[in-house]
Every structure is written in C-alpha cells, then in structure tokens.
Structure 1
C-alpha cells in the first residue's frame, strides 16, 4: 500500500513538473505576443472618425512603416502625443482623441510596430527608438513647450522613454508600472529566475530618472492589470515638486476616465 502511494505521488509530481515546464515554455516563447497583443489592418483600411484628421506614415532607418493619426482642432492649446495600451490598433484607439480634442488639443495617436498598419516585428529597443520619430514629426509643427506626452498602460513605458530624451511640456502617465519585471514578479511569482526569463523589460524606473518635465500620474487602487503599488514605486523615484499623483480608490485598469477626479483635473494636467 505504501509503495503504491509513493508511486501515485511520484506520478502526480511528474505530471505537475511536466505541466509547469509546458507553462513556462509557453510564457517564454509567447511573451512578446502576451505583452504586445497587436491586431493588424490592411494598408488600404480607411479610418472613419467624426473629426478632422490626417493619417501620418513615418519610415524608420530599417524601412519599417509607422502608422499614426493626427487629429486637429482650430487654434489648438497644444498637442498630445498619445501612446496607447497593449491591445488593439488605431481603429479602436483613434477614438481616444475625441476626449482630448474637446479641450482644444490636437492629438497624435500612434501604432507601434506590428500594430494596425505599422509593419516590422516586436523589438523593444527599436520600438523605443521609434518614439523619437513621432516626437520629431511634432517638432516640425509645434513648439516643444506645446507638446504633452501621454502614455496609457504599456504606453507609459514608451511615453516615459521619449520624455526622458526631450523636454515636453508635461508627461502624463495613466496606470504606469515600475518596469515589466516588477509586474511579472507579481503576476508569475511561481516562475523561478524571472530576471533571466523575461525578454521585454520597458524599464520605466530607469527612464523616469532622466525626465526633466513635470509628471502627472493617474492610478486606480483596484487595478488588477498593473498593480497600484507598481505605479507608486515608480512615482517615488521623482522629486516631490516634479510630481502630481492622483489616486483613484475605486478605479480599475480600464475606467479611470469615468471618475470625477480624472475629469476635474485633466485640463490642468494638460496645461502649463
């Protein structure tokens, strides 16, 4: 009986080990697609929005097309360079401009490599470098003091990076993270050697120490995608006189824009 129990226990342990190896192998090989859940659009796809816009395509040094949409208003107070979250493309994210144009701001919403009509492959360093192309595009048409860099979720990593290389009016971060390793440790604590395992880092904690512009952060305490504590940890790297941090106690990862605190403060956050 004892021998049978030992054999059964051994089989169970073997099954658990095989499942664990299969799970970690899947996460390792698919992590780019997990982090960047892109969707693609045909190049002749026609965007339909209820406000004036221009489709902008920029070409990188390695011949990748970067697609973006530039929404404009008469006599803008400035322009927002918007880096969206990890899922979807401009057919969805272009709608975010409606919220900001009513405050009389132009908006440039961008699609990362592999998203929408943007081409290329997932490459963290190249995707970070791409952010400067969009920033330089705006510098041809706006004063730098009129540029607000805005990042949401995964986009906060790209927004923080480009802000660290330039001097925009403001850097606004919605649901930011310390870095992706910090998130992975909280989500996948059962996986050993995560620091060796994770290929994509987006080290916002490093970028933000080089940001000279005022920084505004919005984070919900009920965020189950990017834990609130990761945003707080990032904020702690900034001098207090450079930072404005808004905590939304009831907000989750997806609904910050629905809360009065966000709507009552966003105009001042965008301004000088």
Structure 2
C-alpha cells in the first residue's frame, strides 16, 4: 500500500499539467466566426513561442478587458463572452495559454505561465493604458489574473469563481495528497492582499468545482471597498450568461 501511495503521488506530481489543464487545439488556418469586429493577435515569448489571442472591438471603447480563461477549451469557445463586455463599451482580449487553440508550445511550469500572461498584457499597454484596463480571470485564470494585478497597476481586478489557493483546492479535492506536491500553488490568498486596484469577486453559491467559501475567505482579505457578489443558484459554468452577473457587471464598469 505504501508503494502504491508513492507511485500515485509521483504520477500526480509529474503529470500535473494534464490534470490541471485541458486544452483543445485549433488548426493554424482555423477561421473564427464571431459577430462584431475582432482581430487575431500574436504575442512572442522570450523563448520564441508564439501565443494567440483574439481582440474584440467596441465602438468608442472606454478601455480593455484583459480576459484570462479557465482550464478547458480555447478562445473559440471562451470568446463567446466578448459581447457581454463590448456592449458595455470595452474592447476585450482573450488569450490562449501555451498548447491552447492556435498557441504554440505547452505549459511546463507556473513561472512560465505567469511570465507568458505578463508578456501578453504588456504588449497591449501602448494601445490600452493601465488606467483603462480591467484584468478579469475565470476559474483557473483567477490565480493568474490576481498575480498579474499584484505585479501591474490595472484599473480593476474582476475574479469569477476564484480559488483561495490551488493547494487549498487540491487539499479539498484530494485530501490524501501532500501540499508540497502541487507544482502550481497559485496562492490567490497571498497575492490578493498586494493588489492596489479595486477588486470584485463573483461566485455562484452552487459552484460544484470551486467551493464558493473560497471567495468568502478571500473577501476577508480584501480592502474595505472591495466587493464579493454571490450569484444565487449559479454553478461553476455559464456564469457570464447569468443575468445577475451582467447587471452587477454593468454597474461596476
């Protein structure tokens, strides 16, 4: 039994990327079909890997929503949320991480992933000053978004279904796994205290993936003016289509 436990822990440690990330790939000539005006953007990383994203344009845009999506799919599905933000007068940029969609390479470490996100963010700064940029993360993307907001100076940080930390979530889902085996700790709880911008958390109180008390615990760490919005009856997926989310988002933006 001890040997089996060691083997299981080794698999969880070395195969962590396949457990945490579920990308879908797109052919290089894939043509996106979305309403409105949008363009494909490429960002070159320090090691030469190119990451792909979609930039949606709103008429007379007030700013940018820099969107970091969850662990599955690619921008062909995540960018269906773009009209929610363009209708409110914001351009929206959706980034695919390494190995997702048309993006090259594969994710191999937390530092690599964070560096990629920061590089893509900074490439847009000449067009969108930080005073007009909102960083938004969904699910897995919330830890990345919080890290980015803690190291940059956006106008606002919005988190949809955030986790307290990835180690905390792993402990809840796999209580037999030691925390030190989690190679992507993504400590939202530590990073969020360093975010100077206003922070708004959204969480469905029926979230079946990331327990909503994660946001309740994060709220206790926030600045007095920061907010937590619980969505009654909402689960983990489809939050962007939730009418209550959209009403609150319009008020916030």
> Where on the TM-score scale, by shorter chain, does this alignment land: which range?
over 0.9
Structure 2 CA distance for aligned equivalents of residues 33 and 132 of structure 1: 23
Partner residue of 2:188 out of 199, 204, 210: 204
Q: 2:123 aligns with which of 112, 117, 137?
A: 137
Q: 1:262 to 1:54 in 2, by over 3 A?
A: same
Measure how far apart 1:180 and its partner are. Answer: 0.4
Structure 2: which 5+ runs fail to align? none
SS at match of 1:216: strand
> Helix, strand or coil for the counterpart of 2:15?
helix
1:257-268 aligned at under 5 Å gives the runs 257-268=240-251
**Aligned in 2, Cα 1:42/1:260: closer, same or farther, shift over 3 Å?**
closer
What is the root-mean-square deviation in Å for CA atoms of aligned residues? Answer: 1.7
2:171 is equivalent to residue 188 of structure 1: no
In structure 2, distance between residues paired with 1:217 and 1:150 = 10
Note if 1:125 corresponds to 2:111. Answer: yes
Does 2:246 align with 1:246? Answer: no
76, 89, 114: which one aligns with 2:61: 76
**Match for residue 42 of structure 2 among 51, 57, 77:** 57
Alpha-carbon shift at residue 21 of structure 1 (Å): 5.3
Greater share of residues in helix: 1
Counterpart position of 1:232: 216
Residue correspondences, number: 252
Q: What is the Cα deviation at residue 107 of structure 1? A: 0.3
Taking the aligned partners of 2:82 and 2:165, their CA distance within structure 1 comes to 27
How many angstroms does 1:198 deviate by? 1.3
CA 1:237–1:201: 2 relative to 1, 3 Å: same
Question: Does the CA-based 8 Å contact 1:172-1:269 persist in structure 2?
Answer: no
Partner Cα distance (2:105, 2:240) in 1: 32
SS at match of 1:71: strand
Residue 139 of structure 2 corresponds to residue 153 of structure 1: yes
Indicate the residue corresponding to 2:95 in structure 1. 110
Max radius of gyration: which structure? 1
Deviation at residue 181 of structure 1 after TM alignment: 0.2
CA drift at 1:255:
3.3
CA pair 132-245 structure 1, distance change in 2 beyond 3 A: same
Q: TM-score normalised to the size of structure 1?
A: 0.87
* Corresponding residue SS for 2:143: helix
Q: TM-score, normalised by structure 2?
A: 0.93
**Distance in 1 between residues matched to 2:81 and 2:105, nearest whole Å:** 25
Structure 1 unaligned regions, length at least 5: 1-13
